[in-house]
Amino acid sequence: MSVDIATVKKIASLARIAITEEDAARLAPELDNIMGWIEQLGEVDTADVAPMTAVIPNHLRLREDVVTDGNVRDLVLANAPQAEHGFFTVPKVIE
């Protein structure tokens, strides 16, 4: 499996990172090299092994179904690059 320029562009698009042609050309061999190194994992026989889901055995807790937080709209919006009328604002998404 090799990572070519088209693959890099596709990944960048999935990851929502704008890249230039030069970026893609530079990243392709770099990512290909890293993925090639990672390929060695395929050697390991994992036929009867379950994937790890929790590193330390711990039960998932339930809590009371009550409001413990809230009424902090202004704090939530305090760091927004742009907020108006108590909302986050984004470029128009409907024409």
Partner 1 sequence: MTDLTDLGVAAIRDGVRAGGFSARDVAEAFIARVSAAKPLNAFLVETPDHALAAADATDAARAAGDTPKPLAGVPIGMKDLFCTKGVPATAASLILDGFTPTYESTVSGKLFAAGAGMLGKLNMDQFAMGSSNETSAFGNVISPWKRNDGGNAALTPGGSSGGSAAAVSARLCPGATGTDTGGSIRQPAAFTGIAGIKPTYGRCSRWGVVAFASSLDQAGPMARDVRDCAIMLEAMTGFDPKDATSLDLPVPAWEAGLSADLRGKTIGIPREYRVEGMPPEIDALWQQGIAWMKDAGAEVIEVSLPHTRYALPAYYIIAPAEASSNLARYDGVRYGLRDLPEGANLQEMYAATRAAGFGDEVKRRIMIGTYVLSAGFYDAYFTQASKVRTLIARDFERAFEQCDYLLTPTAPSAAFALGEKQADPIAMYLNDVFTVPASLAGLPAMSVPGGLDAQGLPLGLQIIGRPLDEQGVLNAGLAIEQRAGFVARPEAWW
Kindly state the smallest distance separating residue 64's Cβ from partner 1, in Å: 11
How far is residue 69's CA from residue 75's CA, in Å, rounded to a whole number? 12
Least Å distance between CB 79 and partner 1?
4
CB-wise, 67 or 75, nearer to partner 1? 75
Contact criterion met (CB below 8 Å) for 30 and 23: no
Residue ranges in contact with partner 1 by CB under 8 A: 3, 7-8, 11-19, 27, 30-31, 33-35, 37-38, 40-44, 46, 49-56, 58, 60-61, 63, 72, 75-76, 78-82, 88, 90-93
7 contacts: CB under 8 Å, gap ≥ 6: 28
Structure tokens of 23?
Answer: 């970026």
